[in-house]
Structure 1
């Protein structure tokens, strides 16, 4: 079946209109979005991700061009690679490792990047190439450098950019190293979740430059978009804007296998106690409390396992020692039974973080910020002068 380009054009116009009405797309970017459609950068086989269920469904242009076109212009994330390229077939793989972000997320990040004519931009994570294409159309290809760690992903993006008549500099390399040959940059935009802001990003930026990155802790998969302004003293600081969720920078992914030796025999010699804290108090998905616990309990990974019988176990693992904690709840029962093992009392720290958050009026993530420098990363609530290491 031949693809109806008019249908795609109408869908693109409708998407741009919806994003403008929502405030994600600003007028200065609207014409760029129309001129550089997302569909030009998508593979024939992709997987549309359902945010509500967390499931991804394959969509093939050759099998169903209408469904593919609808997916291309829908405001949903589209997985374009699984398992670092090892995956084959049309069924979803295990771990999504490259994607086309939701158009609303792309538009809002470009809005917050606040570019103007003549600026130089470093993009970390080329992905499909669409974001680099939008920037190149707005600023000129010579002013945009995009770094991608996966050579196959980079080559596909480069081909799509060439077919679209756009010529940003695309580099195969580790985005955590930046690209010094193109420095200094006025803007750095990171399109992968990070757990540490790479020093080269501010070192390769002009004073007054901006770094926009999805940042979070290993406590959860959550990211909060942070907008850092580079200072004359070689540091960068700024607020968290809103919650997002990105695939993580490859070198900063959490390897859950590292905890395989933490609990050789549950509960073993763990200390046992009870708590009145419910697992719902720990928050879910985009709840700010999860983000705040990660800020207050550093070097801790958390996962919740639920069973069909209505029971649940929340695990907490220390990233620097063999310490661990587990909180068990049964359906309909208040509180939980807690086991803790190792020199670090992780559950006690989690409870202390909850008390701290409640005691300060349950602030949202937008009242927090991040400062990065040669001394490391520090987070703060309201006042950068009152910060703590993370």
Structure 2
């Protein structure tokens, strides 16, 4: 395999790479069941697949960080922490593409259970780092990646060629998969969907495995049934992902909180005993995502405690405000979202305050649902159609 040059100081680059490797080891994030991943990352380090310009949030706006002018800061964005994604593209002042955090990439590859020689479909080429790691494991000519952005597709294909990796990169909408190249033993997406396209499952082999970010809060690993009528599996971890760019995601808010609040006056003020800080628990947030898929929750803390802003993207809103005199609820619109949040919190507590790993998903050609505990007997919640 050839080595791709970059313009940063070689000793500095090697030092940053070693720091990331050591931190992954110290925090136990190199998976034991997939020992191939660590040497693959060593052979194909993240910086070889990063564009020359990255973006960093300074608290007010996104600032460009260029490898040629600020190489140390550029390397820091890539290697400083296992859980740090690197923003690679800004569109309308919002991130539109990124190099996922190393820990997340590794976790998803571990979930894929990839073996040499298996045929892989990757949805979302991006920088092509993930495709490179897949090809390192599966072998030449086994990986096909599709990317909707023609600029990203061309750049990703060039990086793969420079690394002497035989990966097919196709430009197009990943939502349809690649029926002319099917079937695939493994399917992996690098962007989040609210509902897993059945076409992806249809293009996988019986017994095949799919790893897909779902709902921008975690990823699920599904195994296709032998009769090809269902796919089912467990949620694998919590992380936030870029959404599907080709369509408005199911359940995505049509209106923001401020817009809804302006047009809908509040009802009577209420005082409650529950601490809004509970809404910063990621496991609870995942359950809220399952039970109330159209509801968005944002929190912030000040000297009085944590406050929350809640809306459904259409016509209803609520606030939970921490003050020196207690927590007060204001809500407006046809739905009582604070009450719905309370009911979902009670449901989560009644289930034993489960973690994301206690949930699974089942998909059929027409329906999808999330279940708790057991796919056949546990409680279930349908995903939006």
| Shift in alpha-carbon separation, 1:370–1:163, aligned structure 2, 3 A | same
- In structure 2, the residue corresponding to 1:63 is in which secondary structure? coil
TM-aligned CA deviation for residue 257 of structure 1: 3.4
Distance 1:180 1:106 in 2: 26
Distance 2:28 2:299 in 1: 35
Question: Over aligned residue pairs, what C-alpha RMSD do you find?
Answer: 2.9
Distance 2:22 2:262 in 1: 56
Distance 1:203 1:48 in 2: 39
TM score, norm. by length of structure 1: 0.84
Note the 1:289-300 alignment, pairs <5 A: 289-300=284-295
Note the 1:337-352 alignment, pairs <5 A: 337-342=329-334, 344-352=335-343
| Shift in alpha-carbon separation, 1:60–1:302, aligned structure 2, 3 A | same
The runs of 5 or more residues in structure 1 that have no matched partner are 87-93, 217-221
Q: Give the equivalent residue in structure 2 for 1:172.
A: 171
Distance 2:253 2:341 in 1: 22
- Among residues 77, 81, 92, which one is paired with 2:89 in the alignment? 81
Q: Give the equivalent residue in structure 1 for 2:64.
A: 58
Q: Give the equivalent residue in structure 2 for 1:37.
A: 45
Q: Give the equivalent residue in structure 1 for 2:371.
A: 380
- In structure 2, the residue corresponding to 1:27 is in which secondary structure? coil
- Among residues 11, 14, 22, which one is paired with 1:9 in the alignment? 14
For the pair 1:389 / 2:382, whether they are aligned, the reply is yes
For the pair 1:265 / 2:263, whether they are aligned, the reply is yes
Q: Spell out, residue by residue over 1:60-82, the C-alpha distance to the aligned partner (whole angstroms, 9 max, x if none).
A: 11112233334443333111101
Q: Give the equivalent residue in structure 2 for 1:238.
A: 233
Q: Give the equivalent residue in structure 1 for 2:127.
A: 128
The runs of 5 or more residues in structure 2 that have no matched partner are 1-5
Distance 2:339 2:214 in 1: 25
Q: Spell out, residue by residue over 1:40-65, the C-alpha distance to the aligned partner (whole angstroms, 9 max, x if none).
A: 21111112569xx7986532111122
- In structure 2, the residue corresponding to 1:142 is in which secondary structure? coil
Q: Give the equivalent residue in structure 1 for 2:283.
A: 288
- In structure 1, the residue corresponding to 2:141 is in which secondary structure? helix
Note the 1:198-237 alignment, pairs <5 A: 198-216=197-215, 222-231=216-225, 232-237=227-232
TM-aligned CA deviation for residue 24 of structure 1: 2.8
Runs of 4+ more than 4 Å apart: 53-57, 258-264, 270-274, 304-313
Q: Give the equivalent residue in structure 2 for 1:317.
A: 312
| Shift in alpha-carbon separation, 1:131–1:375, aligned structure 2, 3 A | same
Distance 2:367 2:256 in 1: 24
Q: Spell out, residue by residue over 1:67-106, the C-alpha distance to the aligned partner (whole angstroms, 9 max, x if none).
A: 33344433331111011xx6xxxxxxx2101111122221
Note the 1:171-190 alignment, pairs <5 A: 171-190=170-189
Indicate if the aligned counterparts of 1:273 and 1:339 stay in contact, CA closer than 8 A. Answer: no
Distance 2:282 2:257 in 1: 25
Distance 2:73 2:302 in 1: 35
- Among residues 63, 73, 80, which one is paired with 1:67 in the alignment? 73
**How many residues are matched?**
367
TM-aligned CA deviation for residue 8 of structure 1: 2.2
